[in-house]
Structure formats: C-alpha cells, structure tokens
Amino acid sequence: MDTPERNQIGTPILKFEDSPVFHYINSLSPIKPVKPIHMAQTFNSLTFATLPSVFTSPHAILHKECSFLRRHHLSDLPKPDFSDNGNEGNTSIGVLDSVQLPDCPAQQKIFDPGSSIREVTAPSHESPNLAIELPRNLKYDCGSPDSNSTPSHGIKMESLPEIIATPASLVHFVQEVSEERQHSFESKLEIQGICQVDESKDEGTGCDWENLISDATDLLIFDSSINTGAPKEPSLELVHHETGSFASLGSKLPQGSTDDLQKTQPMGLADSCEEHEMEDPESKPEPVREQKEMDKALLLSSSSFSSDQMNGGPSEGMDEKAEKIISVGGKPDSQHQRGMRRRCLVFEMAGAQKKNLGDDSKIGSSVSSHSDVKVSDDKQLVPIKPGNSSSRCMLPGIGLHLNTFATTSKDCGVKDETLASGKQLISMRSSITSFHSVACGQITLTKSLALNSMDREIDSVDNGSLDMQDASQASTFGDNEEFNPSSPKKKRHKLENVGEREACKRCNCKKSKCLKLYCECFAAGVYCVEPCSCVECFNKPIHEDTVLETRKQIESRNPLAFAPKVIRSSDPVLEIGDDSNKTPASARHKRGCNCKKSSCQKKYCECYQGGVGCSINCRCEGCKNTFGRKDGFAPVGIEEAEPEEEETETCERNGADRNVQNNEVQKDEELYSARVLPITPSFQICRPSVQLPCSSIGKAPQSVLAVSSSWINSNQRVGKSDFMQPQSKFEKHCETIPEDETPEILRGECSPVCGIKTASPNHKRVSPPHNEFGMSPGQWSGRKLILQSVPSFPSLTPPHETSDFSLKFE
C-alpha cells in the first residue's frame, strides 16, 4: 500500500528533483529546494512516531534537491526500513534504488534513491506535524540535537531489523553502482547495520545516521533557505552530522566514515558550493563530481570532523541517542562552521567562488574557530543582509546622512587612494545604503520601503562591492551591532582605516550639545547614537523639537547648511543616474575649503576629506589637494586661483588615475558646472530632504522614498550636481550658458534648475540659494517640490507629506 505510493512519490520526486535542480541551478542555489526536503527528512528521523510520512515526504521530496535526495537515500535507506512501514519504505527504496541506480551515476543514483525513499518513508514514519516542528527546531536550533535524538530513538526501536536489511540492499546497490563511495558508503551502511544488529543502540546509530542525515539535510535546508548561495554550509552540516555519526560509528570505521562523510559532504558541498556541481552530478560523470566533492568534503570534513570529534559527539555517542544528540549537538559547531562557510560562501559568492575548495578547508578551520560567535549569526547573517542586517548594521554604523553620504564617499576616496571609480561607486552605494539605514535607525523612522528598495538595489548591485563595505560594515556592526561604542575615536580610526569611517558617524561634542554644525551627527541630519561620546547631547529623538528648531535656525541662516558638503555627480551607487560616465571625481565640495596650513592634504580640509578636489569655490592657500587642485578648476572661470604648479604632485601621489579623474572632473565640472550648478542646489536640498524623512520638523517630511529616489535620480542624472559650489563662479557660466543645458539634466526629471545660478551668495558659503525656497523653488522647480517639502534639511520628522511631494515630482 504505502510502498506504491511512496514509490510513486519517490519517483516523481526524483523527476521533480531533476527539474527543480535545474531550476535551482539556473536561478539560485539548489539548497532551497533541499530545505523543504530536509524538513521532511527531519520529520522522518525526528518524528518517527506520529504520522504517516507520506504527506510530509512529498513536500519534502519535491523541495529537496536531487543531490540531497540521493544522499539521503543512501544514508537514509535504513530509515525507510525503520520507518513505520519499513515495508513501504524498503520496497519503495528498493525499487527506487534499483530503478535509479541505472539512471544515475552510481553514487548519485544511490543517493538519489535513498534520499527519495527517505523522504517518502520518513514522512510516513513520522507525523507531518512533528516533522514540521522538528525541522523548525532543527533549523532554529541548528540542528536541534534533541529532537533528532529522540526521533532517532523511536526510529531505532522500530526499524532495527528493517534497517539492517535495507543497508545491505543499499550496500549491494552501492557496490554495484558506485565504487569507492559505495564502499565507503557501504561501510557506513554496514557499520550502521552492524551496529544495529549488534545492538538496538546500533540501530539507534543507524537511525542516527538517518537522523544525522536528516538533520544535515535540515541544516542544509536551513542554509539553503537562509542563504541562497550557501551551498557550502549544507555540505558542512552534512559533514558534521555525518561526522558526528561517523564519529560514533566511525570510531570503528574511520575511513569508511570519512568516505561517507566525504560522500555526504560532497553532496552538501556540491549542492551548496556550486550549482555547477549540483548540475554536474547529474550531467557530469560521477567520478568527477565525486572527486570535487571529495576534495571539498575532505577539506570540510577534516575541519568539521575534527570539530565534531572534539565535541565528543563521537566519543560519547558511539551508539546511542546520546551520540546522536551529541552529533547533533555537534551540529552547533557545524552550524557555526556553516555560518562561517556561509559567510565565506557569501563572500565568495560576491567575490570569488574559486576559493571554495581550497578555502573551504581553511574556512572550515577558521570558521570552526569563529563559528562559536558567528553560529547564531550565521543564520541571521544571511537573512540579515536583506532585513535585519541592513537595519542593524546600517543603523549603528552608518550614520550617514546626506552629508555623511558625501563624506563617506569622501572618506573612501581619501583613504582609498587606489580607489578607482568603481570602489568609490561601491562605497557610495554602501554609503547610501548605510545612509538609509542610518536615517532609519538613528533618526527614528525609516522608511522600510525606501531602505528596502535601496538595500535591494544595493544588494543587487553590490554583491561584489558590498563585500568590502559589508564586510567592513559587518565588522563595524559586529562591533557596533550592539553599539558598543567604546571609544568613538578608536572606532573612527578603525573605520577610517578601513575607509568606513563613514559607516559610523560619531561625534564627540562637549559644548555644542550636538546642536550645531560642529557636531557631525547634527550636521549630517542624524541623531546621535550610542557610539557618540557627546556630552549633554540634545541631538536625540527625545529632543526632537529642539533639534528641529535649531535646524530651522541654522537653515534660516544657511539653507544649505545641512546639505551634503560634497556632492558627487557620479555615483554609481545611484546608478540610476547616468552620468556615471563622467569622471568619478566630478564631485566637489559645495562650499570649498579655506585651508591655509594643511595644503588641502589633510583631513582638515573638507575637500580632501571628502575625497574631492578643490574647486573654484575654495579659498585655500597652497592647495595641494591630491584629488584635484582648485587650479584645475579654474579654467571655467575665475579662478581664485592661483595657477598652480602642483598638479604634477597630485599625479605623483595618486597616480594618474586621480589626476586624470581630477582633470577630467575639472573639465567635466566646467562643462557641467553650468548644468550642475543649477541643479546642485536642488540636489542639496533634495538630499537633505532625504534625510528629512527622519526629521520631523514642521515641514513636511518628504516621502523619503519619493524624495530619496528623486533625489538620487537627480544626483545621478545630474551627476555632477555636486557642484553647488561652482555656482559662484559657475554662475557666470550659468548665466552665459543657456539654461537649456541644465534643463537637460534637470528636465529629465526636474525641470529647470537653471535659475540656480541665481545667486550664489557667497563663494564662501555656497549657500547658493539662500532662499532655498525662494530661490530654489524656481530653480529647482523639478525638485522644488522637494525643497518645499524638505525644508532645508533633513528633518528628522517622518515623512508625512511625502505623497504630496511625490506627486509634485511626478
């Protein structure tokens, strides 16, 4: 009865598996499908008791991947026997095996049948509910050792004889089909069988295997679910579990266990590590896969195995549940490792996969070491990126606002001399993301949507790039996650060193109460956060009113006070934009610096700090800004400047890149100046607006999303919006230049910025349009809305009117 069903299910599953596998391969990591499967399996192992596995099994099977199924089957084969209806399970298994074996490569085939069978059988054994719960537990618990242990027991009791029988069959199949693996696998099976035969405990071990496997699968599933691309982890998990079981079993048969481990690991590895492998198994000749898997498995197994043994799972659990539990318990490590691997995977994903094999071993070791801490995080880590991480990470560290934004980029640029446009872009992206998060986190409300969208975009874009930042952020977060501020300075230094300084903006204000532009946080439009070591800080949500008022005052004096100091035209981050073409350096400090002693070669110089070259607006003396001297700029118009000599110097330092960029930038700036200038004001305003979301000042908080997007777009589009500064000088251009140009950019979205030229009040203060509203509105027409909505600066207030603004924008 059951068997036919199971068989059917199993076969279909297998078929499905293939298709799913392809899907996975094509689209994502195969792991996902596996997870469900694991669930089912876990159910099986765990749930022995309750319900017919059938229900669960199908689902699980469907979800599961071929690889998993296969493996599971192999390892699990006994389970079916154990399972309530050993008959069914066995029969189905036998059928499946027989059938599959021919089809699939020896090992794979073997595994496949087993897996499919297990899936089917397992469910039958256990109640779906239990199974579900168990899996959950496992997932959450990282393998819920407990659950595993119990189920295994139940299974053991029931299936002893059957299990034994099945193993033998399996062994036969394996032998026939696969060679080494088969042997190893067989050895395992045999071992299990022996153990079972010898003692009920042995059975338990066999069950343990299954359980372990199931657990592993579960783990794998989790991993997969968690990390689409974390195939490695699963493998690790499997390895661990198996290792654990092996350890118990393995004391006797280390090699066999190792082989098994390798086998099993390979599965996980193949699955997790590389989709290719996943596919490969089927397409590829088994040996190839096996070798790869083996290699990986070996690496992993070595690390994991040792760890597992260390755990003592093996030592204790030779036979019993305890072993199982231990092995399961060992999972944590495995999980940790998983997490590590996941991380590695992730990173690798982003960075390079090639390391996988070689690194895996390393990773495994390293992971194991780190695992403790990270384990819990692992799961989180993966999910975190999308959700939590962003929020958490972003929040703490990044205190990026618009200003920050600029600064961040600056920082990056500055620190990263090597920064190519690419990095900057990345950095920018990161900064942006961080910004969002920051805004949300620090400020109060963030618009998840905006953030999410941003994050998504970033994520999508970043994979690779993010690594840098993410890693940095992650590290910072790690530090900051809990916001252990420790010494802000130190953190800063660290961050700075990393180039992440931006990530965390902290202030150390003692007298300004963080209500003046002296305060970086306040200037950035962000509330001070724990990391800040400020004294008598009023820049907190609690004092929102005060903050808003103060801002208003400051804005009244200088509408652009909260605008980003540095505006970069080319932000890949925004990418929306377009002008990325333009030299990355297109950015400029809105006001310009006034350096006299630092030669614009130190962070005292805001331009340098921002990683941008000095511009016409700068009144610096002896400018040697490596990012670009104001001289360079001069061409357009007036230059303050001094013809400078030193361009060569710049070249020396950074190398041609910067120089070129700078030069280009300057040129671009000149070209754009007209365009940008008009725009810039709007941008600045817009940026603030972006921050505003958080701000709650009386003015309408703009819809962050709308604003942000628009803002971003504007920036990107404008690209060089940066230059608010140029205004003063550029104003001339603007005047001369037909507004049309600006409109192009602006027109894209915002209409006419041209007006901006208006008034560049003071060179010093770029406050171009002092009246943000008065002037800007017209100029920024496109963005006027924003301006309106965004008073001048990032208000901490949540966006209420955003809708209106958005509409306006549109």
Residue closer to DNA by CB (options 382, 507) is 507
Using rule CB under 7 A, residue 561 touches DNA: yes
Rounded Cα–Cα distance for residues 307 and 488 (Å) = 37
Please identify, among the stretches 153-161, 268-276, 500-508, 682-690, the one whose residues bind DNA according to the rule CB under 7 A.
500-508
- Applying CB under 7 A, among 181, 289, 494, 506 the residue interacting with DNA is 506
- Applying CB under 7 A, among 15, 362, 456, 511 the residue interacting with DNA is 511
Q: Which of residues 731-750 bind DNA (CB under 7 A)?
A: none
- Applying CB under 7 A, among 393, 554, 563, 787 the residue interacting with DNA is 554
Taking the complex as a whole, the smallest distance from the CB of residue 492 to DNA amounts, in Å, to 6
Residue closer to DNA by CB (options 557, 653) is 557
Coil vs helix vs strand at 316: helix
Rounded Cα–Cα distance for residues 388 and 447 (Å) = 14
Contact 786, 779 (CB under 8 A): no
Bridge partner residues of 613 (DSSP): 588
Q: How is the chain split among helix, strand and coil, in percent rounded to 5?
A: 70, 0, 25
Tokens 């958080």 belong to 694
Using rule CB under 7 A, residue 40 touches DNA: no
Taking the complex as a whole, the smallest distance from the CB of residue 774 to DNA amounts, in Å, to 17
Contact 341, 226 (CB under 8 A): no
Bridge partner residues of 747 (DSSP): none
- The amino acid present at 655, given as its one-letter code, is G
Per-residue x/- mask for DNA, residues 618 to 637, rule CB under 7 A? --x-----------------
Q: How far is CA 324 from CA 48, 206, 376, 587, in A?
A: 15, 10, 21, 61
**Which helix (H) or strand (E) is 588 found in, with range?**
strand 588-589
Q: Which of residues 412-431 bind DNA (CB under 7 A)?
A: none
The closest of 350, 594, 655 to 474, measured between CA atoms, is 350
Residue closer to DNA by CB (options 310, 517) is 517
Contact 260, 72 (CB under 8 A): no
- Applying CB under 7 A, among 344, 393, 395, 595 the residue interacting with DNA is 595
Please identify, among the stretches 211-219, 382-390, 509-517, 661-669, the one whose residues bind DNA according to the rule CB under 7 A.
509-517
Give Cα 746 to chain centroid, integer Å: 34
How many C-beta atoms lie closer than 10 Å to residue 575's C-beta? 17
Burial class of 369 by CB neighbour count within 10 A (0 to 12, 13 to 18, 19+): middle
- Applying CB under 7 A, among 19, 27, 388, 487 the residue interacting with DNA is 487
Token pair for 313: 């799972």
Using rule CB under 7 A, residue 22 touches DNA: no
Residue closer to DNA by CB (options 379, 415) is 415
Using rule CB under 7 A, residue 591 touches DNA: yes
- The amino acid present at 493, given as its one-letter code, is H
- Applying CB under 7 A, among 8, 306, 594, 803 the residue interacting with DNA is 594
Using rule CB under 7 A, residue 236 touches DNA: no
- Applying CB under 7 A, among 557, 581, 698, 744 the residue interacting with DNA is 557
Taking the complex as a whole, the smallest distance from the CB of residue 494 to DNA amounts, in Å, to 12
Using rule CB under 7 A, residue 517 touches DNA: yes
Rounded Cα–Cα distance for residues 404 and 796 (Å) = 15
Residue closer to DNA by CB (options 72, 589) is 589
Please identify, among the stretches 194-202, 204-212, 451-459, 483-491, the one whose residues bind DNA according to the rule CB under 7 A.
483-491
Residue 44: which residues within 8 A CB-CB, separation 6 or more?
A: 53, 56, 57, 76, 79, 83, 118, 119, 121, 122, 123, 124, 125, 126, 131, 151, 155, 210, 214
Using rule CB under 7 A, residue 273 touches DNA: no
Taking the complex as a whole, the smallest distance from the CB of residue 630 to DNA amounts, in Å, to 12
Per-residue x/- mask for DNA, residues 597 to 616, rule CB under 7 A? xxx--xxxxx--x-------
Crossing angle of helices 656-691 and 647-654, rounded to 10°: 90
Residue closer to DNA by CB (options 227, 625) is 625
- E strand segments, 469-538: none
Q: How far is CA 350 from CA 300, 344, 467, 572, 781, in A?
A: 21, 9, 6, 18, 41
Taking the complex as a whole, the smallest distance from the CB of residue 415 to DNA amounts, in Å, to 10
The closest of 770, 798, 624, 571 to 699, measured between CA atoms, is 798
Q: Which of residues 757-776 bind DNA (CB under 7 A)?
A: 761-762
Using rule CB under 7 A, residue 508 touches DNA: yes
Taking the complex as a whole, the smallest distance from the CB of residue 650 to DNA amounts, in Å, to 17
Please identify, among the stretches 169-177, 269-277, 278-286, 555-563, the one whose residues bind DNA according to the rule CB under 7 A.
555-563
Bridge partner residues of 566 (DSSP): 589
Burial class of 803 by CB neighbour count within 10 A (0 to 12, 13 to 18, 19+): middle
Token pair for 295: 């290699």
Please identify, among the stretches 511-519, 575-583, 682-690, 721-729, the one whose residues bind DNA according to the rule CB under 7 A.
511-519
Residue closer to DNA by CB (options 252, 516) is 516
Please identify, among the stretches 428-436, 489-497, 645-653, 774-782, the one whose residues bind DNA according to the rule CB under 7 A.
489-497
Using rule CB under 7 A, residue 492 touches DNA: yes
Taking the complex as a whole, the smallest distance from the CB of residue 785 to DNA amounts, in Å, to 26
Residue closer to DNA by CB (options 5, 416) is 416
Number of residues that bind DNA (CB under 7 A): 43
Residue closer to DNA by CB (options 22, 604) is 604
Residue closer to DNA by CB (options 440, 554) is 554
How many C-beta atoms lie closer than 10 Å to residue 285's C-beta? 11
Contact 525, 401 (CB under 8 A): yes
Rounded Cα–Cα distance for residues 327 and 101 (Å) = 30
Residue 460: which residues within 8 A CB-CB, separation 6 or more?
A: none
Sign of CA dihedral 8, 10, 15, 17: positive
Please identify, among the stretches 96-104, 167-175, 339-347, 484-492, the one whose residues bind DNA according to the rule CB under 7 A.
484-492
- Applying CB under 7 A, among 507, 585, 724, 737 the residue interacting with DNA is 507
Taking the complex as a whole, the smallest distance from the CB of residue 412 to DNA amounts, in Å, to 13
Using rule CB under 7 A, residue 362 touches DNA: no
Using rule CB under 7 A, residue 653 touches DNA: no
Token pair for 53: 């596995």
Taking the complex as a whole, the smallest distance from the CB of residue 430 to DNA amounts, in Å, to 18
Residues at the site binding DNA, with contacts judged by CB under 7 A: 487, 489-490, 492, 501, 506-514, 516-520, 523, 534, 554, 557-558, 561, 565, 591, 593-599, 602-606, 609, 620, 761-762
